[in-house]
């Protein structure tokens, strides 16, 4: 954990390995294939990174990779899969940053399988959604996937592992250049206010919808680790309204899913 840094208001890296009994009902919620067994055992190794910069000109970023292994009562493997994702949550509406983030992810995914980026980009657009806010997205997305099993897309365990490790190491390429080019941008109370407002939405997504968080709350995992991703400071405003063309309205427009890889930059 890094707290109250001059550039990074809060940043954390969380590694965890958890194992335990997996009752049939929980296996079903997890999407684990345990046949007709009443229970199985699970092992999960995961890593999460979240960075909440102080400057509203620098987006928040999140990355998670996880690997599940399910064994039966005799200890024999019965299921295994990779999951993961990384998404960008801007305050100031810089389309260039969303384009850079998505294009870099597209290039990483394309090294492993041509369908990965388009599938996982769409999956991400449907995952980081505040359904209770009229399907408002928490940010401009990225990639997200789950239940990626050996054999999928013709790739064996080793090939999937290589992709997964690439994704787990992607932040310097996806996020590093954004951090560098926005670090010196001036900002004031208006940008900070919008950032705290958007962080409120981030809190809502994580506590109401995020599967990893709810899994953690239900499994009595270490709570400070489960909630590490919450922002250091967040605000709620009652029914704000923004005129067309304001930075607030432009940001909200950017949250609508779109094809960041294909589009040609405009002057905006």
Q: What residues line the site for a second copy (CB under 8 A)?
A: 1, 3, 10, 12, 132-134, 196, 200, 203-204, 207-208, 217, 223-224, 226-228, 230-239
CB of 48 to a second copy, least distance (A): 14
Q: Using CA atoms, how far apart are residues 146 and 68, in angstroms rounded to an integer?
A: 10
User: What DSSP state is assigned to residue 8?
Assistant: E
DSSP 132: G
Q: Which is nearer to a second copy, 89 or 174 (CB)?
A: 89
Q: Which two tokens stand for residue 122?
A: 């769409």
The nearest distance, CB 78 to a second copy, in angstroms, is 30
Nearest CB to a second copy, comparing residues 77 and 232: 232
Q: Under a CB-based contact definition with an 8 Å cutoff, are residues 64 and 212 in contact?
A: yes
Least spacing, CB of residue 223 vs a second copy, in Å:
6
The span from the CA of 87 to the CA of 256, in Å, is: 14
Nearer to a second copy, 111 or 132 (CB): 132
CB of 248 to a second copy, least distance (A): 16
Q: Which of 62, 100, 102, 112 is catalytic?
A: 62
CA 89/CA 195 separation, integer angstroms: 10
- C-beta of 97 vs 210, nearer to a second copy: 210
Q: Which residues contact 114 (CB under 8 A, 6 or more apart)?
A: none
| Residue 206 to residue 182: CA distance in whole angstroms | 26
Q: How crowded is residue 83: how many other Cβ atoms within 10 Å of its Cβ?
A: 20
Residue 113 falls in the annotated catalytic set:
no
Closer to a second copy by CB, 10 or 100: give it: 10
Inter-residue contact 129 to 209 (CB < 8 Å): yes
The dihedrals phi and psi of 217, each to the nearest 5 degrees, come to -65, -35
Please, what is the minimum distance in Å from the beta carbon of residue 201 to a second copy? 11
Q: Which residue has the tokens 């620098």?
A: 58
Q: Any idea which residues carry the catalytic annotation?
A: 62
């Amino acid at each position: 954990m890094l707290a109250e840094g001059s550039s990074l208001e809060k940043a954390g890296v969380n590694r965890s390995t958890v194992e335990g009994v997996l009752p049939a009902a929980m296996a079903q919620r997890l999407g684990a294939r345990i046949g007709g067994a009443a229970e199985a055992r699970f092992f999960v190794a995961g890593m999460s990174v979240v960075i909440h910069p102080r400057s509203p000109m620098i987006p928040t970023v999140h990355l998670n990779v996880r690997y599940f292994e399910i064994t039966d009562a005799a200890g024999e493997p019965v299921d295994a899969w990779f999951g993961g994702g990384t998404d960008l949550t801007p305050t100031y509406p810089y389309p260039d940053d969303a384009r850079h983030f998505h294009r870099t992810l597209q290039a990483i995914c394309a090294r492993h399988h041509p369908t990965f980026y388009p599938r996982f980009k769409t999956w991400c657009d449907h995952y980081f959604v505040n359904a209770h806010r009229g399907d408002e997205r928490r940010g401009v997305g990225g990639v997200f996937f789950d239940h990626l099993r050996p054999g999928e897309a013709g790739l064996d365990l080793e090939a999937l592992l290589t992709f997964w490790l690439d994704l787990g190491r992607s932040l310097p390429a996806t996020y590093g250049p954004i951090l560098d080019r926005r670090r010196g941008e001036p900002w004031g109370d208006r940008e900070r206010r919008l950032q705290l407002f958007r962080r409120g939405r981030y809190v809502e997504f994580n506590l109401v919808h995020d599967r990893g968080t709810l899994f953690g709350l239900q499994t009595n995992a270490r709570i400070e680790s489960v909630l590490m991703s919450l922002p250091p400071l967040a605000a709620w405003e009652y029914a704000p309204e923004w005129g067309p063309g304001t930075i607030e309205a432009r940001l909200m427009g950017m949250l609508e899913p779109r094809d960041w890889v294909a589009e040609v930059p405009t002057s905006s």
